[in-house]
Structure 1
Amino acid sequence: MQPTLSELQTFLNQNEIPKIKSKPKTFLGIAKQPHYENVLSNIYAFYFDVNEEHKLNDLFISSLLEVINESNQQIETFVNFEVLTEFSVSDQKRIDILLQNTDQAIIIENKVYHHLNNDLDVYYNDVAASVKIGVVLSIDTISSINHPHFINITHLQLLSKVMSNLGNYLLEARDKYVVFLKDLYQNTINLSQPLMNENDFNFYFENQQKINNLVTYRVEARKHLEHEVKRAFNTLEEQDLNIRLYESKGELGNKLSYFESTIDKNLMFTIVYNGLLKEERTLKLIIELKGKALKDKEIYRGITLSGKDNESFYKSKNKVYAHFAVKSYQLEQKDIRSLSQVIINKLNEDGFISTFTKLENILKLSK
C-alpha cells in the first residue's frame, strides 16, 4: 500500500537522509583512463625507478618490500635493479612490470578489472634470477592464485604503504611528482571502494518504498513546472505574441524551454526553471539571439531592458548564441505553484516582451 503524504512527512521528520559523497575527480579519471592496466603499469614503473626525476628515490621499492615481508615472504634488500615493462617471455606473453638485478627479480602482474588467467609458470620460469618472487597486483583481494611463488597484494595496500612512508622522502622529492602520486592514490581509492558505504546502502533498502515514493513526488514536481511553462506559453500566444514553443530534447528538456519567434527563429525567450527544485528556488528569464541574428549586433544598440546596454552581449565572441538580456528571480514556494502567471507577469512588467518585440521588428526590417 502506498504511504500517505502524512506518513512520508513523518518519515522525513524522523530520519536524516544520508548525503552520498561523490568520489573526488582525479586526472586519470578526467582523462578517461582510471583503470587501464598499461597506463597504471607505466606510472608504477616511473616511480619504481630510483633514478627517475621524481627524486623519491627508493620509496616505492621499500614500500613494496615491506608489504611483501608482511605476507611471510622475505626479501631483505633489493638494490641496483632495472625496471622493465611489457617484458617478453615464452609463447608471446609479456610480464607487466619486472624489477630485476643480477641475482633477484620481482615479477609483477598488474590486474584491475580483468580476471587472473595468465600463465604464471611461464612468467616465473622464464625470468633468470636465483631469488625471485611474483606479485599479482589487483584491485580486489584474490583468494587463490594457485602458484607457490606468487602472492597477492592490492593496489590500495601498496599505495597506502607508499603514502605512509612518503613523509621521509618529501624533503628531496619534486613537488609536481608528489602531486601526481597523490592523484594516483586517490584514483586507487576510487577504484577500490564502492560509491555507497554499508550504512547508506542499508538505509535505502530499509526505506526503499518511502524513498521511491519521494522520488516519484520529485518527478511530479518537475512535471508541474513543465506544465506551468507550457501554460505561460499558451497565454502569451493568445496575446498575439509571435512565438512557438520549442522544447529541448534529452537532459536540457528537464531544465529549460524556448519560446521561439515565428518571425525569426534566431530570437527567443529562454525559460530556465530547473533551479526552482533546488534550495535557492531560482527562475531565470533570458532573451537570446543566435546564429545569423548575431552577425551585426550594433543594429540593436539603444534597445535595452534596464535602461543601459548589456555590454557583455556586444563583447561576446560566441557566434552560436548570446544572451541579450538576463534576469534571475528567487521565488517563494507559493509562487512556484502558480509559475505560469509569475512568468507572464515578469515578462510583461520587467520589459521582456516590449524588448523582444523591438528586436523582432529590427530583425524583420533587416531581412
Structure 2
Amino acid sequence: MYSCTSANSGAATRVGASSPRSADHPEFITQNPQVRRLLAQADRVAESPATVLLTGESGTGKEVLARRLHRRSPRRRASFVRLNCAALPEGVLESELFGHEKGAFTGAVRQHLGRFELADRGTLFLDEIGAADMRVQLRLLRVLQEREFERVGGAETLRVDVRVIAATNVDLREEVRKRTFREDLFYRLNVVPLKLPPLRQRKGDIPLLVEHFIRRLAAQNGCKIRGIDAAALNHFLAYPWPGNVRQLENALERMVLLANDSLLREEDVPEEIIYWQDEEEPDLSQRDFKEARNSFERHFLCEALHRHRGVISQVAEDVGLSRKSLYAKLEHLDIDYQHYRT
C-alpha cells in the first residue's frame, strides 16, 4: 500500500515527506534527472527578458512551467496573462491578442483591450501557438521585433513591454516545412527552447504524483482517502498516459470522489487504464482475419486520436475519412473519442 499518511504495516511503503522529490520544484513533484535539469535551465532563463518556446505533449505541464518562469522573473509583480490560440476562431484571435476599437467590425460596440495591453510589463503566455493563422503570425512577428502594434480598426500605434512565452504540442519545424507556420516567427519564438518529457518517459515520478494528487484532492473534496494499494498503483505504472499529468490527475479525482473505502483499490481504477492494451496495441495473436483487422484499425485510430487530442475534424482529415465515416468506425470499434480530449 502507498499511504498518504502513514505506513501501517511492514509491507506498506510510505510515499511522504521522505520521498525523493525536489523541495525547490514543488510544482513538478519530480525526482527525474531530465526534468530537474530542465527546471534548472528554466530558473537561469527566468531572470532574462528572452522569449521562451515550451514544447511537449498536451498535459505535460507547459503552463505550470510558464507560470514558474514568470514568478521567478523581474516581472513577477506584474500580470501573467494567458491565451489559448487554438480555442478561438480566426478573426477572434487577432482581436483577443491586439484588441479592437469601437466599430471595428459588426458587434464591436466598445473598445476592447487585447492581451498584449493587459500583459504590459508582465508576461504573455501563448498556448497552442501553432494554431495561429498566417495573418496573426505576421502581427506577432512585428510585436516581437518592434514591440508595437495597432488595435484592430485603430490607427494609433501602441508600444508594449511584454515577455512572451509560447507553447506548442506540435512540431513547429514540420509546420514551417509545410508552410503553415512562418519560419521567421519560429526563430523569434525559439530563442530559448525548453522541451517537457511525457509522463511515460518519467514513470518513476508516478508514485510521487499519485501521493500529491490524492492529498490535494482528498482535502479539496473532504474525503478521508489515505492512500492507494499496490495493485492499483501497478496499473498506473503500466499505463502509457497519453494525456500525461493532466490525465493522471483527472483519473485520481474520479477515483477519490467515487471510492467506497479510505484506500484506493484496483476496482476503483478506471477501465480505460486497466484495459488500455485493447485500444493502444494491435493484438497480432488474433487468428481470425476480421478480428485482426479490427485490432489494427483500433490501434491506428487511437494513435490518430492521441495526436489530435480527440478533435474529430482533424482526425478525419489525417486518416482520410469523412467525419460521418469516422464516427461510424469509432462506434463500430467501441472507441470513446472523448477520452482523448484531455
Structures share fold, TM-score greater than 0.5: no
Between 1 and 2, higher relative CO (CA 8 Å, sep ≥ 6) is seen in 2
TM-score, with length taken from structure 2: 0.22
Which has the larger Rg?
1
User: Higher strand fraction: Structure 1 or Structure 2?
Assistant: 1
TM score, norm. by length of structure 1: 0.21
